[in-house]
Structure 1
Amino acid sequence: MESDRMPSYVHKVADVMLLDSKEDYYTSFASKHQVVPYKKLVVPSAMRSIYWKCYGFPATENNEILTRNKIVCLLCKSQMIYNRNTSNLRMHLQNKHKHELEALELVQPMPSCKSGRTDRRSARRGCKVRRRDQDAMQMCPVTSQNEESVEITESNLPHYLSDLDETTFAIDGKYIADTIAEFVIMDLQSPDIVEGKGFQRLVATLKSPCEIPSKSRLTEEFIPKIYDSVKEQLGPEISIINFEISLSVEDWVSSSGDTYSTVSMHYAQMDDGELQTKILSSIYCSDMDALHWGVQFDSVIEEWDIKVSRVKAIIVSSNRDEVYDSLIARSYTIVPCLGHTIQAACMEACFYKPEVDLIVKKCRTLIALVNLNPACNNFLREQEGLIECEKGGLQPDTPPLWSSTFTMLEQLLVRKDILPKIYITLSNAGYSVDSIQFSTDEWSIIADITEVLSPFKVAMTTLYEERIPLISILKPLLQQLKNVHLEKNKFDSKFALELKSVLCTLIMNKYNDPRINEILDMSCALDPRFKNLPFMNDKCKDRLKDKLKEMINNVAQATSGFRDTVSSPSKRSRLSGMEYLLGDLCVKNDVPSAQRIHLEVVQFECEPPITLDKSPIQYWKNNQGKFPNISKLALQFLCIPVCVNNYLNSHFNFKTSNSILTPQLVHKLRFSHQNNVTL
């Protein structure tokens, strides 16, 4: 193609060059990377620039624009700030999608400059058009100091290349260094990665020449600067919160083997329409007793000026007693993380059993031998195509995640009929296969495991798809698991019966506390998806409705008292003639508070439930005028997530990012990552 022979030396202006100083970049990073979720991309008819063919505003399914401060590139789905002009639109295309920009400007006429001179982009496009007629001459437009279009031929090409390369290198060098710092934070990578030969070769291949920041520069300059900027912006945002919030505590292990507890805050605002999560700090807790852990937790609360009375509950993902003892001693309501609860229950009830552990070891060995033998591997891929199952789906698990081990056994069961020929191929290659063959009883156990644990995998998938699942989904989910999926039937084997019984006991016992049950029941009643409470009998529903009215009344009184405090008495105005003549006929009768609350509750009960894919927080945002008191109460309970922040991501992506983080940077990386990036 003609365009393929175009010289690659083109002016590149990085986004970072728009900033006045290095500090501006770190401030920009904190706001630029807030991702706006959307269903569609919409371009208003008033946007007539040709560059809008490659962009759109994030919008809902009903084409309602969510924000006009962000635009999305259709080519790479990048989100960027919209500055009310098309300069940054074209700049992004020039930096990231050069060929698409050339094609776009070739087919669209460009306006001429107001000064009468030909627009530079038009001149460039003209150069490219003329180039088709003059194949012997390679031309690329650059801008001289007098802003005239200059044609570069083979004779003067080296002169322009030398000037251009020096400028481009100075710009791109800083841009690449900043981008690598963002990469380390976004993907929670260790700064050691920049010293790897493979990484250096990759960057050099993508852009050469360029300067890769050293590990010490990343750890001592880039990451701390970004961390300080993010923390500086987050402080005022948290300090003005005067409504109910929830906290979460998540234990994890670093690369050094030390245990950390990450403390996060969750809250819901009407303006946002969704649950917000902010990481506050990471507590070092190896070899510490309850007293020391509690002191560090108190220091986090004090540092961020969190009002303890506003903390509705704390979601905990931990196996250590000192965490629970410290929080209980401080009178917090503790709700176990559902993901962590299912993980612990599945491991104890199933995968820690000796007979299951032996099956898992056989499966891992079989997969390793197949992957090492090209003939076996090729045969397996061929057979997978014949039985129409996922090619390459049989992969080793990632301990200790129960879901990865479950997936491995599930994929093994699908390929049961292929294994005899696999064993023959391995035997011919000199491997001993007697120790990795499965007996009839073992196949029966594998089938029972996949059948009994399958609902739990579906449950985790459902939670993951909700992005930030709320506590209101927990009670319906538990009741469905208990009464349907873990219900015993006459066709169950002895192993399946025992597995169901132990799972049910381990999971349900975690949520038997009366304070936890009150939160679960109230959150369901205030969630427009589950407000009919199908899992409750009529007696429990009536009792919950009375409790709901009592809480709504307290909210109404608190709101009324606040209004009376802030409103100053105004001087009685002079009666108008109409009021003097007809005032006695038109007396305004205020509806008693109890009656207003009753009418509000009845109206909410008459509303049809929303579908399961709708957001309850968004519902209350849209209906706060209709239900002023219930909406305030709802956000007090719907600010609690059902899982800690990082569990669902690690569950499905099998990530081990936390384990590669060094103790020196662990908090700054996680803090900057979570408070700027939505995974």
Structure 2
Amino acid sequence: MSAVWSYFTVKDEKNKAECNQCKVSVLRGGCGRNLNTTNLIKHLQKHHVKQYEEFKQTTSAKKKSVPQQQQQTLREAIEKREKLAPESNKAKLITEKVTEFIVLDDQPLSVVENVGFRRLMECLEPRYIMPSRYYISDTAVPRESIAAAMEMMLNTWKIDKSKVHVVLRDNATNVIKAMNCLGVPSLGCFAHTLQLIVNEGLLSQRSVSDTVAIGRKIVGHFKHSPLAYSHLEDIQLELNMQPKRLQQDGLLEKIITVLAPFEELTKEVSSSSAFASDVIPSVSVLKRILTQQNEADEGIKTMKSTLLEAVNRRFRDVESTPLYSVATLLDPRYKDRYFTNAECSRHAKDALLVQARKMEEVLGRTVSDASQAAEGTSSELAAPEPAKISRVEATSKSRLGNMFKEILEESTVESVPQSTTTNACIEIHTYLIEPTIQRSDNALLYWKVNKLRFPCLAATATKFLSAPSTSVESERLFSSASIIIDERRNSLSAEKAEMLIFLKKNLPTMFK
């Protein structure tokens, strides 16, 4: 309301106002509802100078008390027109809410491509770039469900995320993103990666893929026709032959020979006693086998080179990944003997030293304590001096086993520089210069026997050797679930089923 009304009063005639000073009626400007105060202000200015000056001061004070709207700068105008970066916090928040809308309201994933929905989002936030339905299905939804389910599981078991050493997963992109979103370290299933490598090798050689296709048709024919299969056996018996499998020339035999190490290795790492420490040595052995050339490779050279390229590509970072490298060093069957890269070996030892020092702080031991413990260890627990060890390794009948032995015999022991005299550094130096145990020996039993000699390393090994190399055991557990939940127990609650599965898996460990 204008300050001029302090000097005027509206009477019966709405289009006029009476001056409080001289009682003169002044006609208000404008007409109808659009009356203004221009004539009233002019009346004060002309006939009442003192009151006019008061009016101006009052009006000026009011203007100063009201913040002036700043003019928008050019940069601000441009920023308002620029699209939000997908990785910006606001864009992530909107995408999260769109995903929640799809999940909670049972909307189809294609809703993000509908014209009406896009126009709505354009009106609400013109700068937001709507993601495709594939991003919602492959990234946003899995990130919501997998990460949330994993976090719920950790909370149920009261496991703090900071205490999670590693999560073993498959190689699917959505699972990798979910683990990153959850903020926990993870490793891919070694067996699954080997399978992907074998598939690449088989499909790379045209003759191999054609032969496999033809072989499948032949086998399929006899499998679906008992009469044909019976005739085939009769013919072989008439020719005084033992019934055999069908073969396509000798090419499949060569394929079997090349893939035999993959099969043997897959079986080994799929056992319940396999560790993450098996990965680096296994990769080194595969590379050595695939690099060797001989006359028997005729017809499958492309397949071998593709297999080698796939191994190098899919495991290119394995030696520089601490979760793998430190575990390998702490496995007394391997130690530092199977690293193909000297720099990676040094980095692995540095990483091991960091982990051992952390454990040293936890244990609160000193160098003198460790020395006393080592001296007090019985002779049957202490490993003999390296020079006195007579290593007898059984000759393996498998190509894979022989290659493990060959690499071990070629390796040289590099001592760890002892820049400090900490217990952790002494333990690592002593441990690494000693010979490895046999590959068939139990690594965990070694640490149980030698935990007094190497307390820091033994505690660290307990942590790093806890991680398996494959997810096979988890998949076997799902098979157990299908046995427990059957027609006879179709009313079994989810909670009771979970208890039975947990006991079935963990109860046998108590018997040991």
Distance 1:544 1:330 in 2: 26
* C-alpha deviation, 1:380, in angstroms: 5.2
- In the comparison of the two structures, how many residue pairs are matched? 307
Residue 453 in 1 paired to residue 284 in 2?
no
Amino acid corresponding to residue 482 of structure 1 in structure 2: K
The superposition leaves residues 614-667 of structure 1 with CA deviations (integer Å, 9 ceiling, x where unpaired) of 1111111111111111111111210110111437869xxxx8985997798786
Matching of residues 173-572 of structure 1 within 5 Å: 289-317=142-170, 319=172, 321-350=173-202, 355=210, 356-369=212-225, 373-374=229-230, 376-377=232-233, 412-413=246-247, 442-464=248-270, 466-485=271-290, 487-489=292-294, 492-494=297-299, 496-513=300-317, 517-536=321-340, 538-560=342-364
**Residue aligned with 1:641, SS:** coil
Distance 2:482 2:196 in 1: 19
Amino acid corresponding to residue 252 of structure 2 in structure 1: I
Amino acid corresponding to residue 285 of structure 2 in structure 1: Q
| Equivalent residue, structure 2, for 1:600 | 427
Amino acid corresponding to residue 446 of structure 2 in structure 1: Y
Q: Identify if the C-alpha distance between structure 1 residues 326 and 546 changes in structure 2 by more than 3 Å, giving closer, same or farther.
A: closer
| Kept after mapping to 2: 8 A contact 1:333/1:516 | no
Q: Identify if the C-alpha distance between structure 1 residues 453 and 599 changes in structure 2 by more than 3 Å, giving closer, same or farther.
A: same
Distance 2:146 2:246 in 1: 43
Which residue, 594, 613, 623 being the options, matches 2:440? Answer: 613
For structure 1, the residue ranges without an aligned partner over 5 or more in a row are 1-284, 395-410, 414-441, 563-591
Greater relative contact order structure (CA < 8 Å, 6+ sep): 1
* C-alpha deviation, 1:377, in angstroms: 3.7
* C-alpha deviation, 1:338, in angstroms: 1.3
Which residue, 453, 463, 468 being the options, matches 1:641? Answer: 468
Q: Identify if the C-alpha distance between structure 1 residues 612 and 372 changes in structure 2 by more than 3 Å, giving closer, same or farther.
A: same
| Kept after mapping to 2: 8 A contact 1:350/1:499 | yes
**Residue aligned with 1:315, SS:** strand
| Kept after mapping to 2: 8 A contact 1:455/1:481 | yes
Higher helix residue share: 2
Amino acid corresponding to residue 146 of structure 2 in structure 1: W
The superposition leaves residues 473-509 of structure 1 with CA deviations (integer Å, 9 ceiling, x where unpaired) of 1111111101223545565335x22322333333443
| Kept after mapping to 2: 8 A contact 1:339/1:643 | yes
Distance 1:536 1:469 in 2: 21
Q: Identify if the C-alpha distance between structure 1 residues 485 and 594 changes in structure 2 by more than 3 Å, giving closer, same or farther.
A: same
Distance 1:537 1:507 in 2: 15
* C-alpha deviation, 1:304, in angstroms: 0.9
Q: Identify if the C-alpha distance between structure 1 residues 560 and 519 changes in structure 2 by more than 3 Å, giving closer, same or farther.
A: same
| Kept after mapping to 2: 8 A contact 1:335/1:516 | no
The superposition leaves residues 94-149 of structure 1 with CA deviations (integer Å, 9 ceiling, x where unpaired) of xxxxxxxxxxxxxxxxxxxxxxxxxxxxxxxxxxxxxxxxxxxxxxxxxxxxxxxx
**TM-score, L = length of structure 2:** 0.51
| Kept after mapping to 2: 8 A contact 1:470/1:639 | yes
Q: Identify if the C-alpha distance between structure 1 residues 489 and 374 changes in structure 2 by more than 3 Å, giving closer, same or farther.
A: closer
Q: Percentage identity across aligned positions?
A: 20
Which residue, 496, 505, 508 being the options, matches 1:674? Answer: 505
Distance 2:286 2:236 in 1: 36
Amino acid corresponding to residue 182 of structure 2 in structure 1: R
Q: Identify if the C-alpha distance between structure 1 residues 463 and 346 changes in structure 2 by more than 3 Å, giving closer, same or farther.
A: same
| Kept after mapping to 1: 8 A contact 2:359/2:459 | yes
The superposition leaves residues 31-54 of structure 1 with CA deviations (integer Å, 9 ceiling, x where unpaired) of xxxxxxxxxxxxxxxxxxxxxxxx
Matching of residues 80-159 of structure 1 within 5 Å: none
| Kept after mapping to 1: 8 A contact 2:191/2:269 | no
Matching of residues 28-47 of structure 1 within 5 Å: none
| Kept after mapping to 2: 8 A contact 1:511/1:517 | no
Which residue, 450, 456, 474 being the options, matches 1:629? Answer: 456
Distance 2:319 2:144 in 1: 24
| Kept after mapping to 2: 8 A contact 1:471/1:638 | yes
Amino acid corresponding to residue 323 of structure 2 in structure 1: I
Distance 1:376 1:542 in 2: 61
The superposition leaves residues 360-410 of structure 1 with CA deviations (integer Å, 9 ceiling, x where unpaired) of 2322323444676545446658989x66xxx8xx7xxxxxxxxxxxxxxxx
**Residue aligned with 2:249, SS:** helix
* C-alpha deviation, 1:606, in angstroms: 3.6
The superposition leaves residues 237-261 of structure 1 with CA deviations (integer Å, 9 ceiling, x where unpaired) of xxxxxxxxxxxxxxxxxxxxxxxxx
Q: Identify if the C-alpha distance between structure 1 residues 530 and 343 changes in structure 2 by more than 3 Å, giving closer, same or farther.
A: same
**Residue aligned with 2:144, SS:** helix
Q: Identify if the C-alpha distance between structure 1 residues 383 and 541 changes in structure 2 by more than 3 Å, giving closer, same or farther.
A: farther
| Kept after mapping to 2: 8 A contact 1:335/1:511 | no
Amino acid corresponding to residue 156 of structure 2 in structure 1: E
| Kept after mapping to 1: 8 A contact 2:318/2:324 | no
**Residue aligned with 2:305, SS:** helix
Distance 1:478 1:383 in 2: 46
| Kept after mapping to 1: 8 A contact 2:272/2:473 | no
Q: Identify if the C-alpha distance between structure 1 residues 382 and 633 changes in structure 2 by more than 3 Å, giving closer, same or farther.
A: farther
Please report the RMSD computed on the Cα atoms of aligned residues, expressed in angstroms.
4.0
Q: Identify if the C-alpha distance between structure 1 residues 368 and 640 changes in structure 2 by more than 3 Å, giving closer, same or farther.
A: same
Q: Identify if the C-alpha distance between structure 1 residues 646 and 467 changes in structure 2 by more than 3 Å, giving closer, same or farther.
A: closer
Distance 1:513 1:547 in 2: 15
Distance 2:459 2:292 in 1: 38
* C-alpha deviation, 1:327, in angstroms: 0.6
Amino acid corresponding to residue 356 of structure 2 in structure 1: I
* C-alpha deviation, 1:339, in angstroms: 1.3
**Residue aligned with 2:169, SS:** strand
Higher strand residue share: 1
**Residue aligned with 1:646, SS:** helix
**Residue aligned with 1:341, SS:** helix
**Residue aligned with 1:340, SS:** helix
